[in-house]
């Protein structure tokens, strides 16, 4: 690695097997290997450092992945900095291969059984969150959407909240763009939501999907968040992960639909049934927007023919009339004897890697997830990692399979740092009570009145016997003393 470090192959192969079943951190693994070398009198030029173990694992697994996918020769840089950039540039190609082989693993790798790949199960996982740039307004154009807001995926610079490309967006830490509590109270009293008049949803057709299961977060929360929102993945009912993507804003329906569209384009096929814990809103959005702001591409039309249901774990949370009638997995004949909790089961295994993924940068995180899922799928299907597949020659590279690697990213107009600071300060500076001004200066103040308030209070107390009760208590207290 760079000509300065080297690892024995057996260490990498052993650790690549251990990392699937034992999610120990790189720090603990290095301590264990160094202790083993000391106890067995193995000569080490210098103790193993955890960064060298991580670098060696990634380089070895990427090289192995490229060769087993059918590449006759693979040339990788020796420098780790150059290797990270090379892996980042080649990620869309490797991700397309990953989707192609595992979405067709029933025919390429071998069937898992009679119910192999009968349905696609989707779910989001928010345990593996890494630090990302706080610039959330980055948009990208896709085949189906003219604009899709995804946020910046890059890691922030040290002692900064923004990446090297967004330093002009740096603002003072004390500023905030959130709406004040008083403003929220006024909007709530006026019957407004997000500044718009709220209308009760219709209780027929898709309007009856009144389930409070939406995953999108408020814009105020998104703008403040300095970490990614985890991973959204697609797995077959036989617990084979076929596609995934990182989320940098929130788990919105548009990003989930794009993941499904890119999966269909890369694989060329899709099962007839699907499950998602917010499937009612997914189907509602797809049917209402297809042919309008969602372009009717071949992938979109294919997805519109899929019979979606809510998985059995989350269906009890759905209370909408339309949802109960149409999204029950037990009423879907395509889901008979199908494991609809496959994605949840995969994530219960993935959460053990949260400490590793949280420490990765934006170039290594997607590569590590890709190699981790590929190795786990091989182990589940009982396939050796050295088996060759002719995938590279027959699989098309889908550049938009990862939105962060898209060549159609829409860069907004540059705003100077001083303008950003001024805008944030204008929104965040609190207004003291004695500095508040009347909304309408033309309203004159009220004139003083001649009302005798003392007489009115005395009359009220007399009518309600308040004065007499007070005297009785005073006399009782005097007798007690």
Residues of the chain with pLDDT below 70 are 1-3, 170-210, 212-221, 411-448, 467-481
Q: Which residues, in sequence order, are CB contacts of 125 under 8 Å at separation 6+? A: 230, 231, 232, 233, 347, 350, 351
Q: What is the pLDDT of residues 263-292, one digit of tens each?
A: 999 999 999 999 998 888 899 999 999 999
Closest CA to 323 of 244, 207, 409, 169: 207
Helices (H) and strands (E) in the chain, counts: 17, 10
Contact yes or no for 234/377 (Cβ under 8 A) = no
Contact yes or no for 393/168 (Cβ under 8 A) = no
Assigned domain for 89 exists: no
Assigned domain for 291 exists: yes
Contact yes or no for 147/369 (Cβ under 8 A) = no
d(CA 222, CA 295): 27
Assigned domain for 327 exists: yes
What is the per-residue pLDDT for 432? 46
d(CA 231, CA 182): 35
Instruction: Name the domain count of the chain.
Output: 1
Partnered with residue 188 across adjacent β-strands are: none
d(CA 346, CA 339): 12
Assigned domain for 207 exists: yes
Assigned domain for 313 exists: yes
d(CA 55, CA 1): 8
> What is the DSSP secondary-structure string of 359-390?
T--TTHHHHHHHHHHHHHHHHHTT--TT----
Partnered with residue 124 across adjacent β-strands are: 232
Structure tokens at 59: 């380089």
Helix (H, G, I), strand (E, B) or coil at 243: strand
What is the per-residue pLDDT for 216? 63
Give a three-class secondary structure readout of 173-216. Answer: CCCCCCCCHHHHHHHHHCCEECCEECCCCCCCHHHHCCCCCCCC
Domain that holds residue 234: 117-171+179-359+396-427
The structure's pTM equals 0.76
Helix (H, G, I), strand (E, B) or coil at 168: helix
Assigned domain for 469 exists: no
Assigned domain for 75 exists: no
Measured CA distances, 290 to 12, 306, 433 (Å): 48, 14, 50
What is the per-residue pLDDT for 416? 41
What is the per-residue pLDDT for 440? 47
Neighbours of 227 (CB within 10 A): 13
What is the per-residue pLDDT for 186? 60
What is the per-residue pLDDT for 436? 46
d(CA 82, CA 415): 31
**Phi, psi (degrees; rounded to nearest 5) at 126:** -115, 15
d(CA 150, CA 409): 10
Contact yes or no for 234/242 (Cβ under 8 A) = yes
Distance of CA 8 to the CA centre of its chain: 37
Assigned domain for 92 exists: no
Would you state the torsion angle of the CA atoms of residues 427, 431, 435, 436, taken in this order, to the nearest 10 degrees? Answer: 80
Q: What is the pLDDT of residues 309-332, one digit of tens each?
A: 998 888 888 888 888 888 899 999
Measured CA distances, 30 to 27, 194, 352 (Å): 5, 51, 18
Helix (H, G, I), strand (E, B) or coil at 133: coil
Residue whose token pair is 């192959």? 9
d(CA 391, CA 400): 19
Contact yes or no for 372/142 (Cβ under 8 A) = no
Closest CA to 297 of 264, 269, 256, 253: 264
Helix (H, G, I), strand (E, B) or coil at 256: helix
């Amino acid at each position: 690695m760079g000509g300065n470090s080297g690892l024995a192959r057996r260490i990498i192969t052993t650790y690549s097997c251990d990392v699937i079943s034992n999610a120990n951190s790189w720090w603990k693994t290095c301590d264990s290997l160094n202790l083993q070398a000391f106890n067995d009198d193995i000569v080490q030029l210098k103790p193993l450092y955890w960064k060298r173990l991580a670098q060696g694992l990634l380089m070895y697994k990427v090289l192995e992945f490229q060769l087993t996918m059918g590449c006759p020769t693979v040339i990788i840089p020796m420098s780790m900095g150059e290797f990270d950039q090379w892996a980042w540039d080649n990620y869309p190609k490797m991700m397309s291969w990953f989707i192609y082989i595992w979405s067709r693993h029933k025919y390429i790798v071998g069937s898992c059984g009679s119910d192999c790949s009968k349905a696609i199960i989707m779910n989001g996982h928010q345990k593996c969150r890494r630090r990302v740039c706080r610039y959330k307004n980055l948009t990208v154009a896709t085949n189906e959407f003219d604009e899709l807001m995804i946020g910046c995926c890059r890691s922030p610079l040290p002692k900064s909240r923004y990446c090297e490309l967004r330093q002009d967006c740096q603002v003072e830490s004390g500023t905030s763009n959130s709406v004040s509590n008083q403003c929220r109270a006024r909007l709530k009293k006026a019957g407004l939501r997000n500044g718009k008049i709220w209308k009760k949803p219709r209780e027929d057709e898709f309007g009856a999907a009144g389930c409070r299961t939406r995953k999108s977060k408020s814009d105020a929360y998104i703008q403040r968040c300095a970490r990614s929102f985890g991973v959204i993945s697609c797995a077959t009912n036989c617990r084979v992960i076929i596609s995934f993507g990182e989320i940098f804003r929130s788990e919105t329906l548009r990003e989930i639909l794009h993941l499904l569209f890119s999966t269909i384009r890369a694989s060329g096929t899709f099962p007839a049934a699907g499950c998602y814990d917010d499937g009612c809103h997914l189907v509602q959005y797809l049917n209402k927007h297809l042919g309008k702001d969602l372009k009717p591409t071949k992938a979109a039309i294919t997805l519109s023919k899929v019979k979606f249901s809510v998985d059995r774990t989350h269906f009890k949370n759905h209370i909408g009339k339309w949802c109960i009638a149409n999204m029950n997995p037990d009423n879907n004949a395509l889901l008979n004897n199908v494991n609809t909790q496959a994605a949840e089961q995969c994530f219960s295994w993935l959460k053990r890697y949260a400490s590793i993924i949280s420490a990765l940068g934006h170039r290594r995180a997607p590569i590590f997830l890709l190699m981790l899922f590929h190795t786990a799928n091989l182990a589940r299907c009982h396939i050796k990692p050295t088996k060759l597949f002719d995938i590279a020659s027959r699989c098309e590279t889908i550049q938009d399979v990862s939105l962060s690697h898209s060549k159609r990213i829409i860069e907004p107009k540059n705003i100077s740092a001083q303008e950003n600071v001024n805008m944030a300060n204008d929104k965040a500076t609190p207004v003291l009570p004695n500095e508040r001004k009347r909304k309408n200066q033309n309203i004159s103040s009220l004139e003083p009145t001649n009302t005798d308030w003392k007489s009115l209070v005395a009359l009220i107390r007399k009518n309600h016997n308040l004065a007499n009760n007070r005297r009785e208590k005073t006399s009782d207290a005097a007798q007690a003393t």
